[in-house]
Amino acid sequence: MPPGVEYYCPCLSSTPHPPPSSLASSLYSFHPLHSLFFCEECDAVRCNRCVMVEVSGYYCPNCLFEVPSASVRAEKNRCARNCFMCPNCQNTLTVVASDPPDNGETRTSPIVLSAVGEPPFFLYCNHCRWDSAEVDMTFEKPTGLAAQLQKFEDSAPEALEFERLKEHFEPFLPAASSALARDIPGVVKYNPLTRSRSGRDRAAAKSEIPDYRARVEAGSSHGLASGSGGEVDVDFMKHLETAGEVASLEQRWVNSWTTSLHANDLKPLRIPLHSKKSKRCPSCRHILIKPEQKAQSVRFKIKLVAANYLPAITVSLPHARAAMEMIKRSSALNKSTSTAVAEEHAAAASGAMIAGKTYPFHLAFTNPLYDPIQVRLHVQRTLTPSSADGKQKAPFAVTLPSSAFPIAAFAEAWEYEDDEDMFGDEGDYDGARGTKDRDGRARPRTVGVLERRANVTVVGGEVVLGKEARGNIKFNMLVTYTYRSDDPEPENDDPTATPSKRGTQDKQPQMKTFSFYTVVELGNIIRREESKVDMDP
């Protein structure tokens, strides 16, 4: 896998600390930054797994008509206007009129009309050229087609069977039960009135319900459409000429389980409604996401995403970039290299690391806040049992900057006054440029602040791999940053002081600290074979 950084949400753990990255179960506790939320009341990171979801409104994705919540159930979560979906390609259907008679010839191409035309009207797909006349479904008027199509849906055998079930069991439902208990099976058993009954009363009530007799016996295909596995379907499959004659599973999935296997028997469907959803914090019920009510709008009234509060972190491997440039340069010059060198360059370009070597890596931090922050990094140590002596031994060691480093505040590019603000002062990270070895040659430094530009700071780290290391290089990293709070909490507030006296007190902005965990994945470890050439200087 390519190098990457994901952020930790503590909703699946009883402690604020994440599980070791070596465990396979830790994969479900980390998420990409763009999919997380941030609660200002709790000062905590939230994910889609732990937030509370509420439906704000319903709308049709085709006509963008806002549907009241009371009408959603009555319309079976479908658009009640002239919005239909093609059963073949799921494209939107158009209402067209029949062509006027021309020398007694049949129609060759449909003519799209608005509210006038020659009846009967039918539905036509501009993409796959399907029309509802192929399934003997025509309409006398070009408006109110949903009500006319509802008659076809209500006359289906499965719809009649469901209505028969409701009529049979509705008289036996308790009068005090709520609508929720009537709609969702199993909820009625949690009704206090039902639980207060004795076992004898429940047995008596159960015995009063007569046996239900279905309209069509189970296993019988009489009265049902083809597709129930009868002899008609077997005969159809025996004489099948092309696979296109059979309706696919996606085409039959939106209908009942007795949909016909014939592709030319599929009927148009009303377009399902979509919903706009709000999301709340599970602890304080503070709103995290609240979209605008209008269906045409894609904006949000409230949008508390973690990307606006936590610094974005990206990881890169210098040796992978160098290997990729070496491969490009060799291919451009048509140079032939040995097989061992070519394999090592290819492995390095893919991000793989060889056991027993030391590799640098870069972490780029982007500050989304309008105030500068101070960041400090810590590595969560992981141990794995060694097969040799039974002791626990770390497969690799990670070195990060030990001191805090600053990140400039976020601002637009034209708001930086000069190049020093845009690219940082050279003296801020002069020590990271490098040191000199015994021979006096400059040796680049790999740990520390390497670059500062605008609101981005790049720091370097090192990973030392053990000779017996294998698998993926993943480690948990604790990121702690300090920022300025414009709304400081009052300290030592005098309860006897008047509001006017309290207002005269000077409250300086406070410095607050927030910490969060991340998992950094650098790549895979490959073991060096003894026959390979060591390319280290």
pLDDT at 197: 47
Residue 220 banded pLDDT, cuts 50, 70, 90: low
User: Pick the residue with more confidence: 468 or 45?
Assistant: 45
pLDDT at 460: 92
pLDDT at 323: 65
User: Pick the residue with more confidence: 142 or 57?
Assistant: 57
pLDDT at 86: 87
Lowest mean pLDDT among 119-123, 132-136, 168-172: 168-172
The tokens describing 4, both together, are: 């990457």
Residue 329 banded pLDDT, cuts 50, 70, 90: low
Average pLDDT over residues 434-455: 70
Q: Is 481 exposed, middle or buried (0-12, 13-18, 19+ CB in 10 A)?
A: buried
DSSP 377-408: EEEE---EE-TTTS-EE-SEEEE---S-EEEP
User: Pick the residue with more confidence: 326 or 206?
Assistant: 326
pLDDT at 152: 72
Residue 54 banded pLDDT, cuts 50, 70, 90: very high
Phi, psi angle pair for 119, to nearest 5°: -70, 160
User: Pick the residue with more confidence: 211 or 414?
Assistant: 211
H helices of 62-191, in order, are: 69-74, 145-154, 157-169, 179-183
Lowest mean pLDDT among 37-46, 384-393, 448-457, 474-483: 384-393
d(CA 290, CA 33): 19
Lowest mean pLDDT among 279-293, 314-328, 384-398, 460-474: 384-398
- Whether residue 453 is predicted with pLDDT greater than 50 in this model: the reply is yes
Residue 478 banded pLDDT, cuts 50, 70, 90: very high
The tokens describing 423, both together, are: 């690219």
User: Pick the residue with more confidence: 333 or 130?
Assistant: 130
- Whether residue 392 is predicted with pLDDT greater than 70 in this model: the reply is no
Residue 207 banded pLDDT, cuts 50, 70, 90: low
pLDDT at 149: 76
Residue 473 banded pLDDT, cuts 50, 70, 90: confident
Residue 176 banded pLDDT, cuts 50, 70, 90: very low
Highest averaged pLDDT of the listed ranges 136-150, 212-226, 254-268, 446-460: 446-460
d(CA 7, CA 477): 10
pLDDT at 504: 45
d(CA 434, CA 451): 13
- Whether residue 38 is predicted with pLDDT greater than 80 in this model: the reply is yes
- Whether residue 332 is predicted with pLDDT greater than 70 in this model: the reply is no
- Whether residue 6 is predicted with pLDDT greater than 90 in this model: the reply is yes
pLDDT at 87: 85
Highest averaged pLDDT of the listed ranges 306-320, 349-363, 412-426: 306-320
Q: Taking the CB of residue 49, how many other CB atoms lie within 10 A of it?
A: 13
d(CA 239, CA 221): 20
d(CA 21, CA 520): 9
Buried b (16+ CB within 10 A) or exposed e, 445-474: bbebbbbbebbbbbbbbebebeeebeeebb
The tokens describing 493, both together, are: 């507030």
Domains of the chain, CATH where assigned: 4-36+307-526 (2.60.40.10), 37-55+278-304 (no CATH)
Mean pLDDT of the chain: 75
Per cent of the chain over pLDDT 90 is 24
- Whether residue 464 is predicted with pLDDT greater than 80 in this model: the reply is yes
Average pLDDT over residues 411-432: 55
pLDDT at 302: 93
The 3-state DSSP class for residue 373 equals strand
Lowest mean pLDDT among 46-50, 94-98, 233-237, 425-429: 425-429
pLDDT at 321: 73
pLDDT at 51: 93
Sign of CA dihedral 400, 401, 406, 408: negative
**What stretches of 403-447 adopt beta strand conformation (E)?**
405-407, 435-436, 442-443
pLDDT at 355: 81
Residue 456 banded pLDDT, cuts 50, 70, 90: very high
